[in-house]
Amino acid sequence: MKANFMENFVADDSTIVIGLPENVQELKNFTELDTLLNGAAKELLEAGVLSSKARKITTTAVTIQRQYRKVIAVGLGQGNDLTVLKLQEAIGSLFQYMEDESINKVQVILDSFGFDLSEVADAFGLMSELSTFRMVGYTTDDKKQFSENLELTLVSKQALTLEFEHGRKLGASINVARNYATLPPNELYPESFADDLATLFKDRKYVTGEIKDFDTLDQEGFGLLTAVGKGSVRKPRLVTIEYKHPDASDKEPIALIGKGITYDTGGYSLKTRTGMRSMKYDMSGAANVVGMMEAISQLELPVHVVAVLALAENMVDGNGMRPDDVYKSLQGKTVEVSNTDAEGRLVLADAVYYAADKYQPKVMMDFATLTGAVIQAIGEYRTGIFANADRTVINNLLISAKVTGEDIWQLPLGQAEENRVKKSAIADLINADFKPGGASFAAAFIKEFTKDRPWIHFDIAGTSNTSKDTPFARSGSTGVMIRTVIDLIESGTLYE
């Protein structure tokens, strides 16, 4: 992408982009905008040629120096109701329209959007990356990302480069996560994922890391992670990425833990033909944590954050984990396996305990495509959360989720679920009981390994992918919760 910044509109061969709130005639620069539209702004709106309806994209043509130029109008709705989220959605719709129409060179009159210019510039940076992302490189047409060929000029007298770059870096970081989540499993597996992350973060400012291989995990007692991954020829890995800015205000880090099952057959509790399809996305939790770390490090946020990624393949093999097996966790508790397709909670258990024990974090957040039960409970449009964290932390998380539009819903986690996970006849815990409330059961299982550190579990099974286009994403991986977590961290409330 080529991004330019100019104080004044200059006529060239670019398509012109304007914002159209319903109160357009009240804009400070309405006279300038009306002149650009050949003095016909009011008439074009009244005739329905242009529309101020939220997210509605309309076009017209104007003559500038005897040359016709295309104008794209972005409907913003009622100006008093416009929020950052609605602004982002409108701009996302703009970029998707531009991609569909093969328009890749535009001048944007920022003042016409009638909103805080810093937020408008940030939104253009964010949505220029997010809204048109799709997986490329696997077809013979050698198609590139739309953003690669985009020439975007932002017109404003206010200096907005930093704001635009903030949004762009966040959007690009989310696309890193989406790309990992979408890679085919014959290319992305525990070893290759870990090696790629080592390359990605090599020489990154304030970042250190460690990769534990299968033998190390076995020797150090990661009994649940190795149990899940031992049936695959591609053995498990545990990846730690630590970012510590010198201006971090708290020695206790924030811990982000990701489930990284790079392919899930279900193991001996084998999935069906249709149920196994798309199980490459079962590492979306780990991918999204990578996206969070990418954003934190690229934006150089003044924080201390540790990511722990549990990477494994859940395959069928003569040496694979079986129902009725019992394994000892890193914590020391034993676990009876009743369902090999409830493997995500096993790898998370070792990873969560490792993070809690080694780093004693201020708060832990784990992310996992963990249960179908959460979809049954709250649908595909909300992320289910479970927590033992302080109510203030949860409330601040809810505020950030509202800002980003990534809906979350707190689900119950109490003594009843904690009792259920302990109902093994021969071990300390059992990994599944096949009863209603499966999402709460899974969360209660993970809670056993938190060492009572403040903790939030995000079950993103329903929200990690979308089957239809939204302004934030074409169909496919969403990178869900990255924007919310970054907003939460940037708010500073985790350190209050």
Read off the tokens for 438. Answer: 């499966």
Would residue 53 show up in a list of annotated catalytic residues for this protein? Answer: no
In the block, tokens 């914002």 appear at: 19
Q: At 184, which amino acid appears? A: P
Read off the tokens for 452. Answer: 């009572």
Known binder of ligand: residue 469?
A: no
Long-range contacts of 158-163 (CB under 8 A, 24+ apart): 158/110, 158/117, 158/118, 159/5, 160/5, 160/110, 160/117, 160/118, 160/121, 161/5, 163/117, 163/118, 163/119, 163/121, 163/122, 163/125
**Dihedral Cα 484, 486, 489, 490, nearest 10 deg:** -110
Say which residues have a Cβ less than 8 Å from residue 431's Cβ, sequence separation at least 6: 335, 336, 337, 338, 339, 342, 345, 346, 445
Q: How far apart are CA 38 and CA 385, in angstroms?
A: 53
b (16+ CB within 10 A) / e for 184-195:
ebeebbbbbbbe
Pairing outcome for strands 67-77 and 57-64: antiparallel
Would residue 345 show up in a list of annotated catalytic residues for this protein? Answer: yes
Selecting among 55, 134, 271, 451, the annotated active-site residue is 271
**What SS3 state is found at 415?**
helix
Selecting among 86, 212, 234, 345, the annotated active-site residue is 345
Burial class (CB in 10 A: 0-12, 13-18, 19+), 79: middle
- DSSP string spanning 180-233? HHHS-TTT--HHHHHHHHHHHTTT-TTEEEEEE-HHHHHHHT-HHHHHHHTTSS
Alpha-carbon torsion (25, 30, 31, 33), positive or negative = negative
- DSSP string spanning 258-305? EEEEEEE--TTSPPPHHHHTTGGGGGHHHHHHHHHHHHHHHHT-S-EE
Known binder of ligand: residue 407?
A: no
Identify which of 238, 214, 198 has the alpha carbon closest to the alpha carbon of residue 351: 238
CA 484 to chain centre: 8
Known binder of ligand: residue 142?
A: no
- Measure Cα distances from 135 to 131, 179, 183, 297 in Å: 13, 7, 8, 24
| Three-point CA angle 453, 457, 462, nearest 5° | 175
In the block, tokens 């903790």 appear at: 455
Known binder of ligand: residue 141?
A: no
Known binder of ligand: residue 46?
A: no
Say which residues have a Cβ less than 8 Å from residue 11's Cβ, sequence separation at least 6: 64, 65, 67, 69
Annotated binding-site positions for Mn(2+): 259, 264, 282, 341, 343
Annotated binding-site positions: 259, 264, 282, 341, 343
| Active-site amino acid positions | 271, 345
